[in-house]
Structure 1
């Protein structure tokens, strides 16, 4: 063993990490000690490993995933750090959105949604789909809309289709009416409410419609439909109108 090696306790203090953290990073193959005593299993580190250890600690404090940190240490970290930054930015946007909704509820109370039952006709459509998570719904929906408009045009004949059950991963679809479309949006009885305001607040209206189902003892059927009535490019967010439709499964 070299006299230059530091025992794990001294190295931990130098790097502002705990001994437990250093052992965990070693077990993961992220930051291996320079030498391990074969008889005691005690770990020793070179002083020049402190830079990597400090980098690991700093990036973990920034919520960078361990897999991305491993790529950083292997000098392949630019893309990994960009991806980590994008995830953090999406999380910040999601939290800001949640704060805006919470502020609205604090100011106005829980929304009272006016719900009516309407009969919808079946429509032929073309659809685009994207995988999504609860934090990437807006981006996935935007990608679907962009693809449909590029190929077919059609605002305000776009309908977003979202699952009732929000799993960790799911599919977002957007449909555009087309007489030659290969798919059909089924008709039937739907609970309907008109949402006026930003798209990011539609969840409040959807919750109001689902509460109506509970109040009236009906069974909802997915997907949740959002029919976009305005062009968001020329309509202020507070004036956007969206029809929210959820099928009544127990009414024929």
Structure 2
């Protein structure tokens, strides 16, 4: 064996990459051995490949997937700093969201210890009522994605139109609270059909076609007001569906969550969320 060839086992110990992983990276073309024994198929690497192996392990430790690792290393080889920065910026944003979620979980667990019968949440729910809500003209964004990622971003995008910070005239006059509309019939971890809308009135002036003007249908809605952290709003849905069932009603369209105050201005325990469900009477039995 030449001096500059390192057996796969030794290379594995140096780079802290398992032999199973190294075989996978070979198959993907991510880290191809410099030589292979014709008889046994045993893999050998060179000292020059150690840096690439360690770089792969570091990127994996940072949370990148193999496809992203491949893209980053390819960008590095062609001197494309912009692509590398985009990948790292996206990963940083994902980590910051995860940190926020874990912090919220930690706070809920602390509250759970203090109040073991309240599920870790301080909240209140009003008695459900039936409302007749007129059709609403609104600025709207709709796309598919993950709730925790898409909803905050779309809210920020809509507010750039109605509350611009750069001196521009607002695109429209706000006529109600911002809302999230769920168009799926079941909960989806990813690829959820999400709409965020702000009711508006008067003329509309959109310089960029980022948001659209829609008419949200009116009708009879069962409504309940939830006070407390957003992660606990499921209790409001539970109470609302019990009410719908008790009164012989059935859901007749997508649900809405109306955010009545700003999480940047009030503590979590004072957040107000109105949950609305369009309803109709249960059809008579045949």
TM-score between both structures, scaled by the size of structure 2: 0.73
Q: What is the rounded CA distance, in whole Å, between the counterparts of 1:206 and 1:25 in structure 2? A: 47
After TM superposition, the structure 1 = structure 2 runs for residues 149-188 of structure 1, keeping only pairs within 5 Å, are 149-150=162-163, 151-154=171-174, 156-164=176-184, 165-167=186-188, 168-169=190-191, 170-178=193-201, 183-188=214-219
For structure 2, which runs of at least 5 residues remain unmatched after alignment?
164-170, 205-212
1:137 and 1:172 in contact (8 A); partners too: no
Q: 1:78 to 1:232 in 2, by over 3 A?
A: closer
For structure 1, which runs of at least 5 residues remain unmatched after alignment?
none
Equivalent of 2:128, from 97, 116, 124? 116
2:5 and 2:47 in contact (8 A); partners too: yes
Equivalent of 1:140, from 153, 167, 171? 153
2:261 and 2:271 in contact (8 A); partners too: yes
What is aligned with 1:78? 85
What is aligned with 2:209? none
2:33 and 2:44 in contact (8 A); partners too: yes
Greater alpha carbon shift after TM alignment, 201-210 vs 190-199: 201-210
What is aligned with 1:246? 277
Q: What is the rounded CA distance, in whole Å, between the counterparts of 1:118 and 1:87 in structure 2? A: 40
How many residues align structurally? 252
* 1:29 CA drift (Å): 1.8
CA RMSD between the two structures: 3.2
* 1:23 CA drift (Å): 0.6
Q: 1:50 to 1:36 in 2, by over 3 A?
A: same
2:228 and 2:268 in contact (8 A); partners too: yes
Q: SS state of the match for residue 131, structure 2?
A: strand
Q: SS state of the match for residue 136, structure 1?
A: helix
TM-score between both structures, scaled by the size of structure 1: 0.81
* 1:41 CA drift (Å): 2.0
Q: 1:40 to 1:8 in 2, by over 3 A?
A: same
Q: 1:29 to 1:133 in 2, by over 3 A?
A: same
